[in-house]
Structure 1
Amino acid sequence: MSNEDDPDRNRDRDAAGHADLTARLRTVEEAAERIGTTLDEQTTCAELSRILCRHLCDAAAVDLLDEEGTGARSRSPAALRRVATAGLVKVLEARLPDEDPERPDGGALPMRALAEGRPVTATATLPGGRSAGALSAPLRADGRRYGALLALRAGGSFTADETDTVHFLARLTAGRLAHARRYAAVQRTAMDLQRALLAEPGKPHPNLELATRYLPSGSSALVGGDWFETVRLHYGRTLLVMGDVMGHGLDAAVDMNAYRSHLRYVASTDLPPHRVLRQLDTAVAGDEARRPATCLLARVDPARGIAAFASAGHLPPAVFSREGVAGLVEVPVGPPLGTGAGGYELVTRTLTSEETLLMFTDGLVERRGEDIDVSLSRLARIRLPAGAGVTQVLDEVLLRLDGLHAEDDVAVLAARLRHHPGTGAAAPVEL
C-alpha cells in the first residue's frame, strides 16, 4: 500500500495542515489587533517586530524609508533607517549575503525586497559561523513604499506558508503606516491653517508695542479655536482682541475665522468694546451652527493713557508694572458669545508706558482639577525682571507657567504704550 493510500498517514497530514492553518489564522488575528494601536510610526513598527518574534522568528527588525523616499522612484539605500528591533541580539548580528557593514540600511536583503516588491529569502551567517534563515518583506500599501521588515531564524529557513504570513503582516503594517501618515498630513494642514490665521494680526498703531505667541497643545494633535487680533481705530487707538472658540478641530478653526472676520467688521464702526461684544453676540446667536466663544476686548488709547475692557466669558487680563509685579484687572464677565443673552459691561483703567498689558487664553493658566482662582493667582504671583521689554515679559510668563507643556492651546498677547507727547488729536470717548 502506497503512502497516499495510508489512512493514518493522510489523517495525520490533514491534522498537521489544519493545525498550521489555525496557527496562521491566530497570528493574523493577533496582528490585526496589536499592530497599529497608536498613530506613532515607531510604536507600530515595534508592534510588528514583537509579533514576528512571538510567532515566526528569533529576531526581527523594521527599517523605514524617510517620508520623502516613499515614492516608487526612490531607490536610495541611504534612505532606510532602522526604527524597531525585537528578539535575540546575537541573531540580529547575523551577516546577510552581500551586506556592506558601512551601510546604515540594514543590509542588502531589505533593499532587494523593496526593489522587487515581494518577500525575499536568504541564508545568513551568525557570529561563530552558524547559519540562520533570513526573510525580508517590503512594507507597501496604496502603491507606496514605506520600508521593509527583516526576520531571522537561527538554524532553519522559512516555509512558503510562513513567508506568505510574513508578507501579509508587512502589508497590514504598511496600511497602518499609510493611515498614520494621512492623519499626520491632515493635522499639519489644520495647524498650517490656524498658524496662517494667527500669523498676521492687524497692525496696531505705531504708538503701541506688541508681541504675540500661539502654542498648540502638546497633549493633543487637534487644533483649537484660540485666536488674537488687533484693529486700528481713529485717533491713534487700537482694539486688542483675545478669543477662544469652544472645542477643537477644523470646525473650531473655521468658526474662529468667522468670529475674527465679523469682529473686524463690527469694530471698524468704532463702537466701545461692550457694544462690539453685544453686536457680535446678537449676530452669532442667529447661527445655530456656530460654536460659542469667549472673548476679551481692550481698547487702548495712548494719548489719554486709558484702556477700556469688556469680557464675554473670558479670563481677565493682567498688567505688569515696570518693577515686574503682576496685577489682574477686574473686568465684569458677561456671557460667552453666541448665547444671545448680552449683558456686557465696560470698565476702564489707566495704562502708562511703563506697564505691560497681558491678554491670554485659558490654556496658559488652567490646570486639570484645579480651581480657576488658584490658576489665576499663580499668574498674579509672577515677578519679572524690572524694566523687561514686551517680548521678554511674554516669554518669561510662558516660561514660568510652562506654556510649552500646557494641556490646552495657548494664545497670548502682550502690549505696551509708546507715548509720544503732542501727537494724536484728542477725541471724545463713547462709553
Structure 2
Amino acid sequence: MRPESAGDSSTDSLLTAASAALRVDRDALADALLGQLPVAVAVLDADLRWRYLNPPFQQVTGVSPTAVLGRAAADPDPAVPRVLADGRPRSGTFAGRAADFRRLEVADAPTGVLVVLPGGADTHRAELERTRARFALLEAGSERIGTTLDPDTTCAELAAFAVPDFAALALVDVLPLDTPDAAAGPATTRPDPGADRDRDRPRLRWRRAAVAREQAPPGAAPSSAGPASAPAAGTVRHRPGSVTARALAEGSPVVANLVSADELAALLPDEAALSAGRGAGVDCLLAVPLTARGRPIGVLTLARAHGSSLGFTSEDTELLAAIAGRAALTLDHARRYARSQNTALELQRALLAEPGSPHPNLELASRYLPSGITSVVGGDWYETVRLPFGRTLLAMGDVMGHGVEAAVDMSNYRSTLRYVAAMDLPPHRILRQLDALIAEQENARPATCVLALADPARARWTLASAGHLPPALLTSHTTELVEVPTGPPLGTGVGGYEQTVTELRADHALLLYTDGLVERRGEDIDVSLARLSALRLPADGPLDSLLDGTLAALAPEDAEDDIALLAARVRHRPS
C-alpha cells in the first residue's frame, strides 16, 4: 500500500480544518508538524537531491541543511532508486542510520523519496533497548547453537534458531569434511569493486547440511508458525550471481530485499533452494558467510516471506552476522573434531583389520563397531597368534583413552604382543613380559587385556587377565562367565598375573569382548555382566551369526564406546 500523497483531498481538508480550529495559518501548521514530529524525516527529489530535513533528522544524523540542501545524496542506499521506480516501500541505511524509504507522491505523480529515521526524545532509550535485545539474542544463540560436537547437529541448530524469528526459510551449506582448506581460499573482506569475483571463483561443491522453513498450522497466520525441518538437498553448486555465491566471494553479508519472481530465480543459490523459496513465498534474501580461522567453511542463507517485512535492515544484518560468526566458530570446532575422529577411526580400522590366521583346527569370527563421531574413537583391539603344536593365542584389549593416540598405542600393543608370544610362554607370563615392556615406554597408555590360549590337542583353554572383563563360554543352552584371576592393567609395571584352565569342547564357543558391549552409564558392572550371562544363543551355528545375535541383544542403540568382539570354536573334524 502506498502512502497518502501530499495532495490527498481528505488529508488537505483535515489540515485546513485543524488550522482553522487552532486559528493558525495552514502552511505554518504543516511546518510545525514536520518540525516537531518525534520522527526524523528527510525528503529527496526525483534526482535524489536533498530538499528537506526536519530538526529531529538533523539531531539524529548531525547533517546540516546548509551543507546538503540542493545537493545529491552521497552513496544512497540501492533501495532508494528502486523505491522511486516502483513505489514499493523498503528499508535500508541512510546517513549512517537504519531508515525506511517511501515514494513521495503529489497529485498521484512521483516527486521524490521520503526518508524516515528513528528519532526524538526516546532515541537513546530505544537504542539502549535494542542493544540489550541484541546481546540477549546473541546469548540465546550461544546456548542453542553448538550443543554437541556433531557438525550436522550444529548446522540444524543454526537453521532452527533463525526460523521463524528472523526468516521463513533458512539454508545452511558447508564444505564437505574432506575438502582441503586451501580449496575454499581465504575469506575476502574487501571485494574488488571492478571484478565479479563469484563468477571467477571455482564452483566448489557444497553440502546442504540443514534446511528449516516456517510452517503454520491450518488457519493460522504465518507469524504464528514454528520451524520445521525439511530434507537437505545433498551436494549443491551455487549459481554465479546468487546472494550465496556473492557472500562467499566477498566474505561479507549480501542482502536483496523485495525482489521480483525473476530476480528470485537468479538470486537463490540452486534449484532446490528456489523451489523451497517459492513454496514459502519469499521475496527478501540475506546470505551470511560462515568464516572461521580466516576461511569460509559454510554459508547461511535466509529468506523472508512476502508481506512479512520491508526487508533485512542493516541492524538485522549486523545481528545475524554476529550470530553466524559465533556459530561458525562452533561449527569449525565440531568439523575439526569430526576430522580427527575420522582419522582415528580410519587408522584404527587399518591397523585392526583382520586378526592373524589361527590354526585350521580353530574357527574365528570378529566384529568391530565404532561408537561414531558424536562420541570418541577408543583403543579397542584384538589379535590372534599361531603357535606350535596346533595352539592359537587369542587376545582382546582396550587401551585407556581415545582418539588418534589411543589407536596408535593399540597398534603398539598388538605388535609387542606378537613379539612376546613368539617366545612361547604361558599366558600369565606373556602378560608379565608385555606389562614390563610397555611400562618402559614413557608415553604409552595403560590397557586392559585378556589372553586365551586354545590347545585343542589337550582340549583346554588357558586364560589370564590384565584388568579385563571375563570371557564368556557359550553352549546351546547357557552363557557362562569364566572366572579368571585379574591382575592390574598392562603398562603399570606392577605385574602379578595368574592363569586358569577350563575345558575346550567342540560344542562350546568362547567369546572375548570389550566393555562397550555390556557397560551402561550409571549401571553397576554386575548388572551389566548379568545381562550377558542371561544371553541364550546357539553355539553350534555359524560364528558370524553368533556375533550378530550378540550385538543385536546387547549393543546399545547409541553406543558411547567402541565394541570389539572375537569368537572362537574348535573346528569339527570330518569323521
Bin the TM-score by the shorter chain. Answer: 0.7 to 0.9
Which residues of 2 match residues 68-87 of structure 1 at below 5 A? Answer: 71-72=183-184, 75=203, 81=208, 83-85=210-212
Identify the match of residue 120 of structure 1 among 226, 231, 255: 255
Q: Any idea what the Cα deviations from partners look like across 1:346-374, whole Å, max 9, x if unmatched?
A: 22222123321111122222233433333
| Aligned equivalent of 1:292 | 446
Equivalent of residue 191 in structure 1, options 342, 345, 363: 345
Q: Which has the larger radius of gyration?
A: 2
The answer (yes or no) to whether the contact 1:140–1:171 under 8 Å persists in 2 is yes
Q: Which amino acid aligns with 1:167?
A: A
Tell me which of 166, 172, 176 is aligned to 1:63.
Answer: 172
Q: Which has the higher contact order (CA 8 A, sep 6+)?
A: 1
Q: Report the equivalent of 2:505.
A: 352
Distance in 2, matches of 1:116 and 1:257, equals 47
Partner in structure 2 of residue 428 of structure 1: none
1:152 equivalent in structure 2: 304
- Which of residues 281, 288, 307 in structure 2 aligns to 1:137? 288
- The answer to whether 1:35 aligns with 2:141 is no
Judge conservation of contact 2:285–2:301 (CA < 8 Å) in 1. Answer: no
- Judged with a 3 Å threshold, the aligned counterparts in structure 2 of structure 1 residues 388 and 325 are, in CA distance, closer, same or farther, namely farther
Query: In the alignment, which residue of structure 1 is the partner of 2:460?
Result: 306
Distance 1:371 1:325 in 2: 22
Cα pair distance change 1:27/1:371, threshold 3 Å: closer
- Closer, same or farther: CA 74–401 of 1 in aligned 2, 3 Å: farther
Q: Percent same amino acid among aligned pairs?
A: 50
The C-alpha deviation readout for 1:187-210, integer Å capped at 9, x for no partner, is 100111111221132221222211
- Pick closer, same or farther for the CA change 1:105–1:192 going to 2, 3 Å: closer
Q: For the Cα contact (< 8 Å) 1:266–1:276, is it kept in 2?
A: yes
Question: Matched residues in 1 for 2:405 and 2:386: separation?
Answer: 28
Counterpart of 2:158, as a letter, is L
Question: Aligned residue for 1:330?
Answer: 483
For 1:158 and 1:368, locate their aligned partners in 2 and report how far apart those are by CA, in whole Å: 47
Q: How far off its partner does 1:257 sit?
A: 2.4
Q: Which moved more, 1:7-16 or 1:154-163?
A: 7-16
Alignment of 1:46-57 (within 5 A): 46-49=156-159, 52=162, 57=166
Contact preservation (8 Å) 1:112, 1:120: no
Change (3 A) 1:248 1:135: closer
Q: Does the CA contact (< 8 Å) of 1:326 and 1:381 recur in 2?
A: yes
- Cα displacement (A) at 1:92: 12
Question: Where does 1:249-328 land on structure 2 (aligned, <5 Å)?
Answer: 249-287=403-441, 289-321=443-475, 323-328=476-481
1:221 to 365, 375, 379: 375
Instruction: Identify the range of structure 1 (177-186 vs 400-409) with the bigger mean alpha-carbon deviation.
Output: 400-409
Distance 1:250 1:117, change over 3 A: closer
Out of 336, 347, 353, which is 1:182 matched to?
A: 336
Aligned length: 410
Q: Distance in 2 between matches of 1:287 and 1:21?
A: 57
Is the alpha carbon distance of 1:290 and 1:380 closer, same or farther for their aligned partners in structure 2, counting shifts above 3 Å? same
Q: 1:305·1:351 contact (CA, 8 Å) conserved in 2?
A: yes
In structure 2, distance between residues paired with 1:335 and 1:114: 56
Q: Which runs of 4+ in 1 moved over 6 A?
A: 4-11, 103-107
**Structure 2 CA distance, aligned partners of 1:317 and 1:182?**
37
Q: Which runs of 5+ in 1 are unaligned?
A: 94-102, 423-431
Tell me which amino acid in the other structure corresponds to 1:44: T
- Unmatched 5+ stretches in structure 2: 1-34, 36-52, 63-118, 185-200, 217-221, 226-234, 261-276
